[in-house]
């Protein structure tokens, strides 16, 4: 389940029309959400609040052997008007599952953002500031996010901790997203790592789409999928080592009539790592995902399977009545997550390492129950168990 602060950040992206999915880093977000989810350890409590539309606070208290916690504050120059109360937020916003990509938006024009007042431009760049201090480790996380322009965003994140070399590290990330393609440039002070990432979407360019006349063929065969390709390149100046990878993705768009599915293929040519994922949303409540890793240098392979299941409450009292409803009768419009009793996520790999997550909402609390198991180790099957509780207002 997403952290409250992450949720707020996502809301900021949304409010500032930034497409998080259109980045090479998010190429296999679906597979990661379904296969690489974190299982909680120990007990963790989080109380958060969006006190004002621009300001959020969050406190966490954790207990894994020792009691630790964190305090975080967030400021956004852009008023955030989403639903963040734990009692009524949309569970789809906080539960990462199958990412259903939307049609590419045409980026805002620069002049859309301009605000003129009596002959002067008075608009400001949207900015988000975030800080979090972990106690008692005295680790500080800080984030500075600025929308430089409708197609540009600067993200500077820093961690200060005595356990790190030089006491901390800073990562600067400059992102460009014009819809058709996106590029990212990054610089990390740690070992002077520099990186470039790019993603290119095949198909119609959202920027020019309106000007091209629609042909008859396009109407007959509407585009119901998107093919994307990307690459990334890193080089650390100090340790003179780098990394490279390329990736492909095909995903169905909402106008696809069958099951939505996403396929990705990533390749690390340096390390010979080939990874392919296939995720399918088999129904409204079920998503399945598989991933096969193969290394053609070491011939090592790995298989992971995962699923996400939304379990909905059935009201048995009125079920018989619902059955008797005529199909053409409109069902009363209820909140989409009203009847969700919980979401089950599970993954298993070829070594019989299992991760299980049960998330949901009880009254006004969001809860996450998780366990990771290792069936190969007979003496210690349960590796970790944890529960997280979140409350936000």
Partner 1 sequence: MAFNFNWSPLIADTSRAREMLTTALNKSPKPPIIVDDIIVTELNLGSTPPELEILEIGDLAEDRFRGIFKMSYTGNAFLTLKTKVQANPLNTYLSTKPDFASPQPLAAASGLVIPLQITLSDIRLSGFVILVFSKQKGITLVFRNDPLESLKVSSTFDSIPFVRDYLQREIEGQLRVLFMEDLPAIIHRLSLRLWSPEYQELETEQRLDGMKDAAAPIDPLSTPPQDAVDAFGNPLDESQISSLSRDPTSEVHASFSQKNILHLTALSESQRTLSLFTPSIREAVFRAWAGQPDRNESGSNTPALTQSSLSRIQSTFGSMKSASSSVASGSTGNDTQSSRPTLSSNYSAPAGLNLGANRLRTHPMRKRKKRVVNLRRDRDGGESSGVSTEANTPAPSTNVSETASVIHEEREKEEELVTPPKSPVKQGLRFEGKHGSLDVGEPGRVSKKSSAEGLLPAPLLADPSRLSKSKQKAKVSTPLIIEEPEKEKKMASGRPPLSHNHLRRTRQTTSPLLRSLSLDKVSTLSSGSRLSVPPHSYTENTSSSGGILEQAWMLKMAQEIARKVQEEKEKEAYRDRESSPSPNPQGLFHPQPQSTSKRGGIWAQDEDDAPPAYVA
Q: Judged by CB under 8 A, which of 117, 120, 240, 330 binds partner 1?
A: 240
By CB under 8 A, residue 365 contacts partner 1: no
Distance in angstroms (rounded) separating the CA atoms of residues 189 and 109: 33
Distance in angstroms (rounded) separating the CA atoms of residues 249 and 233: 18
Q: How far is CA 176 from CA 11, 128, 350, in A?
A: 19, 17, 39
By CB under 8 A, residue 228 contacts partner 1: no
DSSP state of 29: H
Nearer to partner 1, 240 or 323 (CB): 240
By CB under 8 A, residue 183 contacts partner 1: no
Distance in angstroms (rounded) separating the CA atoms of residues 139 and 48: 20
Distance in angstroms (rounded) separating the CA atoms of residues 184 and 25: 9
From residue 11 to residue 50, the character string flagging contacts with partner 1 as x (rule: CB under 8 A) and all else as - is -------------xx-xx----------------------
Q: Closest distance between partner 1 and the C-beta of residue 141, in Å? A: 5
Q: Judged by CB under 8 A, which of 169, 183, 276, 285 binds partner 1?
A: 169
Q: Closest distance between partner 1 and the C-beta of residue 245, in Å? A: 4
Distance in angstroms (rounded) separating the CA atoms of residues 351 and 303: 9
The SS3 of residue 105 is: coil
Residues in 249-278 at the binding interface with partner 1, rule: CB under 8 A: 266-268, 270-273, 275
Residues in 332-361 at the binding interface with partner 1, rule: CB under 8 A: none
By CB under 8 A, residue 242 contacts partner 1: yes
DSSP state of 106: P
From residue 111 to residue 150, the character string flagging contacts with partner 1 as x (rule: CB under 8 A) and all else as - is ----------------------------x-x-x-------
**CA Rg value for the chain:** 23
- Which range in 72-80, 184-192, 330-338, 373-381 contacts partner 1 by CB under 8 A? 184-192
Q: Judged by CB under 8 A, which of 10, 19, 63, 157 binds partner 1?
A: 157
Distance in angstroms (rounded) separating the CA atoms of residues 306 and 277: 11
DSSP state of 71: E
Q: Judged by CB under 8 A, which of 154, 244, 286, 387 binds partner 1?
A: 244
Q: 276, exposed or middle or buried, with CB in 10 Å at 0-12, 13-18, 19+?
A: middle
Q: Judged by CB under 8 A, which of 39, 70, 175, 245 binds partner 1?
A: 245
**CA atoms within 13 Å, Cβ hemisphere of 133:** 4
Q: Closest distance between partner 1 and the C-beta of residue 58, in Å? A: 15
Helices (runs of H) and strands (runs of E) counted in the chain:
5, 21
The residue behind tokens 């790995």 is 302
**CA atoms within 13 Å, Cβ hemisphere of 191:** 11
Nearer to partner 1, 13 or 234 (CB): 234
User: How many positions of this chain bind partner 1 (CB under 8 A)?
Assistant: 49
DSSP H helices in the chain: 4-15, 29-35, 91-94, 216-220, 316-324
Distance in angstroms (rounded) separating the CA atoms of residues 367 and 344: 12
Q: Judged by CB under 8 A, which of 161, 176, 276, 285 binds partner 1?
A: 161
The SS3 of residue 192 is: helix
Nearer to partner 1, 45 or 248 (CB): 248
- Which range in 75-83, 215-223, 232-240, 369-377 contacts partner 1 by CB under 8 A? 232-240
Q: Judged by CB under 8 A, which of 243, 256, 285, 309 binds partner 1?
A: 243
> CB–CB of 267/260 below 8 Å?
no
Q: If DSSP states are collapsed to H, E and C, what string results for 314-373?
A: CCHHHHHHHHHCCCCCCCCCCCCCCCEEEEEEEEEECCCEEEEEEEEEECCEEEEEEEEE
By CB under 8 A, residue 248 contacts partner 1: no
Residues in 287-306 at the binding interface with partner 1, rule: CB under 8 A: 293, 295, 297-298, 300
Q: Judged by CB under 8 A, which of 10, 54, 183, 188 binds partner 1?
A: 188
Q: Note the residues at the interface with partner 1 (CB under 8 A).
A: 24-25, 27-28, 139, 141, 143, 157-159, 161, 164, 169-171, 173, 186, 188, 190-191, 193, 195, 197, 230, 232-234, 236, 239-245, 247, 266-268, 270-273, 275, 293, 295, 297-298, 300
């Amino acid at each position: 389940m997403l952290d409250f602060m992450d949720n707020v950040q996502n809301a900021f992206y949304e409010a500032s029309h930034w497409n998080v999915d259109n980045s090479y880093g998010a190429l296999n977000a679906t597979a990661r959400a379904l296969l690489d989810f974190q299982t909680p350890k120990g007990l963790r409590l989080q109380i958060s609040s969006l006190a004002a539309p621009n300001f959020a606070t969050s406190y966490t208290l954790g207990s894994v052997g020792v009691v630790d916690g964190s305090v975080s504050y967030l400021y956004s120059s852009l008023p955030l008007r989403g639903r963040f109360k734990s009692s009524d937020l949309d569970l789809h916003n906080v539960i990462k599952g199958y990412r259903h990509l939307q049609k590419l938006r045409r980026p805002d024009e620069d002049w859309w953002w301009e605000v003129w007042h009596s002959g002067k431009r008075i608009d400001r760049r949207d900015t988000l500031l975030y800080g979090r201090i972990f106690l008692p480790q005295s680790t500080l996380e800080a984030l500075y996010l600025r929308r430089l322009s409708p197609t540009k965003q600067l993200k500077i994140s820093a961690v200060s901790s005595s356990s790190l070399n030089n006491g901390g590290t800073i990562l600067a990330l400059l992102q460009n997203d014009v819809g058709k393609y996106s590029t990212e440039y990054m610089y990390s002070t740690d070992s002077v790592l520099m990186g470039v990432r790019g993603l290119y979407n095949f198909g119609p360019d959202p920027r020019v789409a309106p000007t091209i006349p629609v042909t008859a063929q396009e109407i007959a065969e509407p585009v119901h999928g998107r093919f994307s390709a990307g690459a990334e390149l890193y080089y650390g100046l100090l340790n003179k080592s780098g990394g490279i990878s390329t990736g492909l993705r095909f995903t169905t768009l909402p106008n696809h009539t069958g099951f939505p599915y996403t396929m990705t293929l990533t390749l690390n040519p340096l390390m010979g790592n080939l990874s392919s994922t296939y995720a399918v949303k088999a129904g409204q409540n079920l998503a399945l995902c598989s991933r096969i890793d193969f290394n053609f240098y070491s011939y090592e392979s790995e298989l992971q399977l995962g699923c996400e299941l939304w379990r909905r409450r059935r009201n048995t009292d009125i079920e018989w009545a619902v059955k008797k409803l005529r199909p053409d009768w409109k069902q009363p419009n209820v909140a989409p997550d009203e009847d969700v009793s919980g979401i089950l996520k599970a993954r298993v790999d070829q070594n019989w390492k299992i991760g299980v997550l049960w998330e949901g909402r009880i009254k006004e609390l969001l809860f996450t129950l998780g366990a990771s198991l290792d069936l190969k180790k007979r003496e210690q099957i349960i590796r970790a168990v944890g529960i997280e509780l979140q409350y936000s207002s």
